[in-house]
Chain A
């Protein structure tokens, strides 16, 4: 609103009040939202309370990494691991755009430095390191920073002898980092081998989508592999497979339920039960009693440190 259109009355008001009044008159954008799966019109706040799961059809929307971790972890304490790590353009990679520019742009729009967020915290009072991929950041692709943050997360687990939980959502390796990104598969898998030898539990949660190099490394190496319903999970992308075999892919191919049926997953768990399910499993694996006073999940995002 421009000042010329202000009424004499508004001009009399102190500026702070005026701002408030103006805010109230605008109906906030996105108060209502449409479910991409069933098309149902949903009240935004209700969807948030429901952890971004459609109350009508159960569709699980993709979550940002910090949103995911704040849903999962107890409200505090939180200690972020590897936040200081920044990606570099080691290959001077350029396609239609320079990788450096792509990075700068995506860092600005996502407010993240790379696509994995790792936090040491607690779930229902059980100390854990929890990691989550941010699909909004270059498709959750795995480059050097993702590998290093993941390994530092594992090292924290080894140091404190606590479990690791990782929520993956990734298109795979980050092409712009060439063989460096390929090597992150070996690096993260090696770290998990050490964790396994030390008998520390790793729960891998595969969310939509978990493909390629991330699926073929850390995501499949859980002591327990859990997926959210109907998540796309696989090594090769469906389009690549369709081109190779030249036939239509069966219904539900590479979806969580398909993987469960074929023995790749232990469980398919609804997001609204995920926190409780994992806390209960971790309590048993670490020989603890589960505190009944587990704090409810917060729905707002975890802030950066």
Chain B
């Protein structure tokens, strides 16, 4: 499959193109240049390592939004068995920007909720670019309560630019839908593990993001506002998005340093899209670890610990 490269990956792209060309030549002729290809591949790996060892926050934001990045259902397919998708909020409709359902993880039944983006134009529109409306959050709420009732651990996957800013969403109470989820998740009597797999866009992400463990994939982002939005408000120019991304501290490394997330799940060299299977395996290990830690606690203590953890968020002096 053809790779797609971001701007800052141009040197890697050039090298890969050269390798591809050589491969064609080898196929056409008798000359054996396998050695040369091997040498170039090693060089490409080194170059990728070099580029990826010093990514800026803005470059990471682009990776988090990469058109070929794995979405919730890509992981569901690889990590879970017997997944049965459940639909609808029982009030208004079904929001395709959020998927959810029951499945088995390592043989154990769990509840899954995640944002879902679309791959091609048609699906993108159908999924509303992963921007949920109130009915999406209310479907999630229904599934959370079901998870609690049947003692299923809840695993959420976060990947959204934000809650949908539209007329219909406002009419149906976007704010209330988000707020309700925050208050219910805080007291949900079952283990909750949240993983940011791509974009963690503000309140729209947090509305399925309150848990006992919050993990981030290495090149995912979590932010109170998009870098572009922040730049246009504070710098009066969306072109300052790179500066805003840096200032907002949206990367996994920075947020882990600040104590705002619990763990970072490593990605394959070059990002998830270079090897989704490997990325899924890393995620499997991280989820197993989190779930087995949480399984040891009794539920009352678990919920109390979650509450205390929420109360600790914040930096101030007295």
Contact = CB atoms under 8 A, between A and B. Distances in A.
Contacts of B210: 186, 190
A55 interface: no
Given A235-B170, A236-B174, A190 B318 contact: no
Given A179-B260, A220-B179, A262-B171, A144 B316 contact: yes
A79 interface: no
B206 interface: yes
Contacts of A191: 311
- By DSSP majority rule, is chain B's interface helix, strand, loop, or mixed? helix
B182 A186 contact: yes
Interface in A143-190: 144-145, 147-148, 151, 173, 175, 177-187, 189-190
Contacts of A104: none
Nearest to B247: A93
Interface in A206-243: 212-213, 215-221, 233-237, 240-241
Interface stretch (B17-25, B75-83, B161-169): B161-169
A189 B234 contact: no
Contact of A179 (B175, B180, B222): B222
A194 interface: yes
B244 to A, nearest CB: 8
Interface in B76-113: none
Contacts of A151: 311
Interface centre among B171, B316, B318 (most CB of A within 10 A): B316
A241 B170 contact: yes
Contacts of B178: 185, 216-217, 235
Interface string A93-106: 11110000000000
B317 interface: yes
Interface in B166-225: 166-167, 169-176, 178-180, 182-187, 202-203, 206-207, 209-210, 222-225
Contacts of A219: 175, 179
B234 A175 contact: yes
Contacts of A263: 173
B206 A182 contact: yes
Interface residues on A, range: 35 or more
A187 B236 CA distance: 30
A232 to B, nearest CB: 11
B249 A178 contact: yes
A253 interface: yes
A182 B226 CA distance: 12
B183 A235 contact: no
Contact of B316 (A86, A192, A193, A218): A86
Given A178-B250, A182-B206, A217-B178, A90 B234 contact: no
A235 B163 contact: yes
Contacts of B313: 144, 147, 180, 183-184, 186-187
A181 B258 CA distance: 13
B155 interface: no
Contact of B182 (A175, A181, A185, A262): A185
A304 interface: no
B311 A253 contact: no
B317 A196 contact: no
B8 interface: no
Nearest to B315: A90
Nearest to B203: A216
A88 B317 contact: yes
A91 interface: yes
B314 A180 contact: yes
Nearest to B202: A182
B224 A173 contact: yes
Interface stretch (A42-50, A127-135, A244-252): A244-252
A241 to B, nearest CB: 5
B21 to A, nearest CB: 43
B310 interface: yes
A-B interface, 4 closest residue pairs, ranked by CB to CB distance from nearest: A236-B165, A190-B186, A144-B314, A189-B182
20 contacts: A90-B315, A91-B248, A95-B244, A144-B314, A173-B225, A175-B225, A178-B250, A179-B255, A180-B313, A180-B315, A184-B314, A186-B209, A189-B186, A213-B202, A221-B180, A235-B178, A236-B163, A240-B229, A262-B171, A264-B175
Given A175-B224, A180-B314, A190-B182, 14 more contacts: A86-B316, A88-B317, A90-B315, A144-B313, A148-B314, A173-B203, A179-B224, A183-B206, A190-B186, A213-B202, A215-B175, A220-B176, A240-B165, A264-B176
Interface of B: 163-167, 169-176, 178-180, 182-187, 202-203, 206-207, 209-210, 222-225, 229-230, 233-236, 243-244, 247-250, 255, 258, 260, 307, 310-311, 313-318
